[in-house]
Amino acid sequence: MSDQTGKQLSKEEKDARFEAELLPVLDPLYNFAYRLTLDEDDANDLVQETYLKAYRFFDYFEQGTNAKAWLFRILKNSFINEFRKKSKQPAKVDYSEVEGYYNSDDVEGESGVASTTDMRTESVQDLIGDEVASALNALPVDFRTVIILCDLEGFTYEEMAKILDIPIGTVRSRLHRARNSLKEKLEKYAKSMGYNS
Amino acid sequence: MESKFTEAYPKAPDEAREANCEKVSGMLDLMIDGEASTEEQTFFNHHIEECVSCFENHQKQKLLKGLVSGHLKRVIVPQSLVQSIKARIQETL
Ligand SMILES: [Zn+2]
């Protein structure tokens, strides 16, 4: 934190720090890119774009601060500016439409899973993972984003606010609506699988 | 879970209790995300000890979060990606 006084790093120092501090975020960053674009090639491009920008602006990155949040923010901005326009997003959902009331015994697959044999448990686990993925992918990208950031990557509300450039109150309400929407989609699945009541 | 549900709730009449239910349901996300303050946690935990429906709602909300954090498969980063990144960085210098 001491050397953010604009002192130029040598190229070797810069490359070493870049590798040590930013490359370890590659896995979560690629996963985030994939969940945003839903396409491996686009995710690949988006991550490369993000690291190029991060390298270019590395002097502005304060050592010891949150590298992961910083990279996620760059990636999110790149996605909005360059990718979102051309990618095929699911049709916009009216928020009031997905406000759905969360009711009774729904996503209760897990208790059923536990009682089955190991092999069956494994395939049911896969099935649950697939179903969660498709429910999530069907959400509007803003909803998908907050759920990924919060539940998969474990960012705090404050970090999410910085990554998304929105107030914490908006993070909270968006997350709330996103979860309601996800519940609704998973509920339909749970019912169709006979998990319900 | 053996519930104290049928016992009379000594401190609050029904109306006050319903107001608490509303407050608690508005705190579900804060609680499962670890964002609630100590006071909020105390209030919340005290309420769900006494209220079965809020207790259940809390369980469901945790389950939902667990479905994403525990079941969503991570995608594998292509092996060539690190090399592509490094190569492109060197190109741009
Ligand atoms: Zn209650």
> How many domains does chain B divide into?
1
In this prediction, residue A13 carries a pLDDT of: 87
Q: Are residues A169 and A116 in the same domain?
A: yes
Query: Considering only CB atoms, which residues of chain A are within 8 Å of chain B?
Result: 11, 18, 23, 26-27, 30-31, 34, 40, 43-44, 47-48, 51-52, 55-56, 102, 106-108, 110, 125, 128-129, 132-133, 136, 147-148, 150-152, 154, 156-157, 172, 175-176, 179, 182-183, 186
Q: Are residues A36 and A61 in the same domain?
A: yes
Question: What domain range includes position B74?
Answer: 4-92
Q: Are residues A103 and A78 in the same domain?
A: no
In this prediction, residue B33 carries a pLDDT of: 98
Q: How far is A128 from chain B (nearest CA, A)?
A: 7
Q: Is residue A39 domain-resident?
A: yes
Who's near B61: CB < 8 A, 6+ residues apart? A179, B28, B29, B31, B32
Choose the closest CB to B75 out of A34, A108, A172. A34
Q: Say if residue B62's pLDDT is above 90.
A: yes
In the numeric block, the tokens 């105390």 are attached to B42
Q: Are residues A79 and A105 in the same domain?
A: no
Q: d(Cα A146, Cα A131) in Å, to the nearest integer? A: 18
Q: d(Cα A90, Cα A185) in Å, to the nearest integer? A: 14
Query: Of A62, A86, A110, at which residue does a domain stop?
Result: A86
Of the candidate ranges A98-107, A126-135, A160-169, the one whose mean pLDDT is the lowest: A98-107
**CB contact (8 A) between residue B89 and residue A51:** yes
Instruction: Residue A131: give its domain's CATH number.
Output: 1.10.10.10
Q: What is the mean pLDDT of residues A136-144?
A: 96
Q: Are residues A45 and A111 in the same domain?
A: no
Q: Is residue A197 domain-resident?
A: no
> How many domains does chain A divide into?
2
Question: What domain range includes position A55?
Answer: 2-86
Q: Is residue A72 domain-resident?
A: yes
More confident residue, A60 or B27: B27
Q: Look up the ipTM and state it.
A: 0.82
Mean pLDDT, all residues of chain B: 88
In this prediction, residue A86 carries a pLDDT of: 64
Interface check B1 vs A, CB under 8 A: no
Instruction: Residue A17: give its domain's CATH number.
Output: 1.10.1740.10
pTM over 0.95: no
**CB contact (8 A) between residue A147 and residue B68:** yes
Query: Of A18, A53, A86, at which residue does a domain stop?
Result: A86
